[in-house]
Amino acid sequence: MKVEVCFSPALYPYYAGDNNRITVVVDIFRATTTICAALQNAARSVIPVASVEEARDYKAKGYLVGAERNVKRCDFADFGNSPFDYAAEKVKDMDIVFTTTNGTQAIDMAKDSDILAVGAFSNIDALADFCFGKQKDVCVLCAGWNNRFNMEDSLFGGALARKLIDKGYNSASDATRVALSMWEEALPDVRSYIDKAEHIKRLEVNSLLDSVAYCLTENTVDLVPVYDRETKRISVK
């Protein structure tokens, strides 16, 4: 079995030919970390939508909505894109409509994969066990920023690849080797490595650095969110 890292949604069409695999969508800051947090806090499902208009329509129908553009919460939404917004007392047993600048677009792009799983540092061990248990190839799709490479998602690609290689996967591709090198370089101090990332600056100017440490912490969540093509919802399988 092999593990690939796709560094940008713009590259994804070149990885999408073989859908008989697990695509792990990752947006460390902050969409996929937030989906994991909402489900950990017992939300029934997350309904990803690509556009703000769709999210607004759901809101008018009475749904709880999380909506973010350019790191800011949309004014009509109940939640923004911080994992801390999705506390158990607000989300337990609820279906939450969710749209973000890049994360939910990447989910939309990968929805025809045999299995679409949501990845974050917070669920990395559960995810590695899940992938190994399925005995399928894995492609990590980095949500990036407006189709551009970003450090944090690529770093996660390296971290997950390391865990899967330790379980017997192989890393045939140059992209995976580069992601692994990033992870090795970052390992002594991931927080200071990521300090150079563009998204840290974006969060900083909007006073949104509060969830960065949480987004980089491994294994605070013991579940794997999976997208269901029939219901178009993400839930824990």
Residues of this chain that bind ligand MLT (CB under 6 A): 27, 29-31, 68, 71, 81, 100-103
Cβ proximity to ligand MLT, 121 vs 169, nearer residue: 121
Cross-strand partners of 236: 225
Min dist. Cβ of residue 35 to ligand MLT (A): 10
Cβ proximity to ligand MLT, 27 vs 78, nearer residue: 27
Cβ proximity to ligand MLT, 22 vs 208, nearer residue: 208
Q: Which position's Cβ is nearest ligand MLT?
A: 100
Cβ proximity to ligand MLT, 4 vs 152, nearer residue: 152
Cβ proximity to ligand MLT, 105 vs 171, nearer residue: 105
Closest CA relative to residue 20, chosen from 139, 145, 140, 155? 139
Min dist. Cβ of residue 72 to ligand MLT (A): 8
Min dist. Cβ of residue 131 to ligand MLT (A): 23
Q: Give the integer Cα–Cα distance in Å for 55 and 78.
A: 11
Helix (H, G, I), strand (E, B) or coil at 23: strand
Cβ proximity to ligand MLT, 35 vs 182, nearer residue: 35
| Contacts by 172-176, CB closer than 8 A, 24 or more apart | 172/2, 172/4, 173/2, 173/4, 173/5, 175/4, 175/5, 175/6, 175/7, 176/3, 176/4, 176/5
Min dist. Cβ of residue 174 to ligand MLT (A): 26
Count CB atoms within 10 A of the CB of residue 133: 10
Q: Is the peptide bond before 30 cis (omega within 30 degrees of 0)?
A: yes
Residue type present at position 141: L
Min dist. Cβ of residue 87 to ligand MLT (A): 18
Min dist. Cβ of residue 76 to ligand MLT (A): 16
Which residue's entry shows tokens 């939300």?
43
